[in-house]
Amino acid sequence: MCPKKNKAVILLCTIDDKGEIDGATNKSNIILDYNKTKGGVDMVDQMCASYSTQRITRRWPLAVFFRILDIAGMNSQIIFNNMQLLEKTPRRRKYLSELGVSLMEDHMKERAKINTLPKDIREFLSQYRVLEEQRNAENQNRSGRCRICSAHKNSKTTVSCDSCHQFVCKKHSTKTVQCNTCLYPPMEED
């Protein structure tokens, strides 16, 4: 990066506050530091370009978002590979595919509950629905006494808390099927 003759160049840096210029090359120390470390930037660009989310757009916020997605995917793979000490690490394409599916999985499970979807979408989402139905079937076969009600009340229920999986009656739970203890945990006193 060499400034052209008669061109103004603005340099911002939080490390070098002196603004010294090297006499031999007639370049600022900021430019020299950048030139020493720009190989890392080129490596990131090269890795992101192989499997990129970027699309042609005139909206700069969308272009920035695509770039952030590319860099986040690359960073997450580097962290994942460092955590896999003995195991073979997956290729970038496979890793990004698995990452995308795992990020969408919760949404797919929620969407599988909708009965008014078109037939082809319902068939695709049926694999997520089966897991949810099996979990619900296991819990519906059992019944127990509410853990919050007193023992003499003996209120039997088939509803269990989603967090702690303990039985709770309708009086002590919300519509999301969580007992009040899990929804509002007791505050610790100092």
* Residues 155/157/159/162 CA torsion (nearest 10 deg): 50
Tell me the pLDDT tens digit for each residue of 100-133. 989 988 888 888 888 888 888 888 888 877 665 5
Question: What pLDDT was estimated at residue 71?
Answer: 92
Q: What pLDDT score was predicted for residue 63?
A: 92
Under the banding of pLDDT at 50, 70 and 90, the label for residue 61 is very high
The average confidence (pLDDT) of the chain is: 80
What SS3 state is found at 173?
Answer: strand
Q: What is the pLDDT of residues 74-106, one digit of tens each?
A: 999 889 888 877 677 788 889 899 999 899 888
The end-to-end CA distance of the chain, in Å, is 58
pLDDT at 65 over 90: yes
Judged against a pLDDT cut of 70, whether residue 190 lies above it is answered with: no
62 has a pLDDT exceeding 90: yes
Q: List the chain domain ranges.
A: 1-50, 103-141, 142-190
Question: How would DSSP label each residue in 91-154?
Answer: PHHHHHHHHHHHHHHHHHHHHHT-TTS-HHHHHHHHHHHHHHHHHHHHHHT--EE-SSS-TTT-
